[in-house]
Amino acid sequence: MDGALRDRVIVIIGGTTGMGLSAAKACASAGAKLVIVGRDAPETSAAASTLGKGVCAMTGDATQPASAVRAIRTAVDEFGRLDGLYHVAGGSGRGAGDGPLHQITDEGWDFTTRLNLSSLFYSNRAAVQQFLKQKTGGSVLNMGSVLGWSPSPEFFATHAYATAKAAIIGLTQSAAAHYAPLGIRFNVIAPGLVRTPMAQRAANDAKIMQFIEEKQPLDGGRIGAPEDLDAAVVYFLSDQSKFVTGQVLAIDGGWSVCEGRERAEGAP
């Protein structure tokens, strides 16, 4: 990945923890100049010190339209332009009232869709507006989830979250078709279960981890690591993928093609 993003200017919304921070490190190693945005000020400062030179770190709430606008303006002011956006920000709405459809509260629905879908809309819109202003192409990479099309009714029945992640695919592909003649590309990375702060509930549940051994059987049957996504992030944000748009890449250890049940005795 060395040099694949040399002198590219990338904004990462949600780039201070978990998959976003791991991606920021990979992009920096590939030569990118970065603006990273996180909600928590201490985490943002820590991320900036980890990443070193060529990185601007900002505190902002991704659910507020002005945050992405400010981040992109910072990228242009500091580095001269915008070449790519990676939207990672999002999370579970379980604690706010998400769950199975008959149990979702109005507050849970609003919170979860705002956190996962509206925030992404704001950043994608701001990025396209900047690309059009620059009269350049660019790459937008969005964070999806296998739950957007491959449900897990027993352990991951958060239907507002699944709806938001499915909608991300619709927005990404519609935008990809519309802006392709202008060289503006849109793609989605859709992970399975990855060890991040959001995944602590699942990671600490023995039954879920037993399920994951069969549901994500690659590499010994394990929960994913943030680093598992990094090569794909660099690929989509670089010219390595210059002929690719409107695609959804599942990085899920096999989740979307496996049943996730214990094998019957004697089965291969």
Domain residue limits, the chain: 9-253
Give rounded-to-5 percent helix, strand, coil for the chain. 50, 15, 35
- Hey, what are 6's tokens? 């040399």
Q: Which runs of E-coded beta strand occur in 14-155?
A: 33-38, 55-59, 84-87, 138-143
In the predicted model, what is the mean pLDDT of residues 197-203?
86
What is the value of pTM for the model shown?
Answer: 0.95
Lowest model confidence (mean pLDDT) among 10-14, 44-48, 79-83, 225-229: 44-48
Q: Give 268's pLDDT tier (boundaries 50, 70, 90).
A: very low
Judge residue 99's burial from the number of C-beta atoms within 10 Å of its C-beta, 0-12 exposed, 13-18 middle, 19 or more buried: middle
Q: Residue 92: which residues within 8 A CB-CB, separation 6 or more? A: 98, 112, 158, 161, 198, 201
pLDDT for 95: 96
Q: What is 9-253's CATH topology? A: Rossmann fold (3.40.50)
Binning pLDDT at 50, 70 and 90, where does residue 73 land?
very high
Beta strands, E only, 39-99: 55-59, 84-87
Q: What is the mean pLDDT of the chain?
A: 94
Catalytic residue among 86, 161, 179, 235: 161
159 close to 101: Cβ distance less than 8 angstroms: yes
User: Does 179 qualify as catalytic in the annotation?
Assistant: no
- Give the whole-angstrom CA distance, residue 65 versus residue 13: 12
CA 240, 242, 243 angle in degrees (round to 5)?
115
104 and 96 in contact (C-beta within 8 Å)? no
* pLDDT at residue number 1: 55
Look at 34-48, 94-108, 242-256 and tell me which has the smallest mean pLDDT. Answer: 34-48
Give 88-107 pLDDT, tens digit per residue: 999 999 999 999 999 999 99
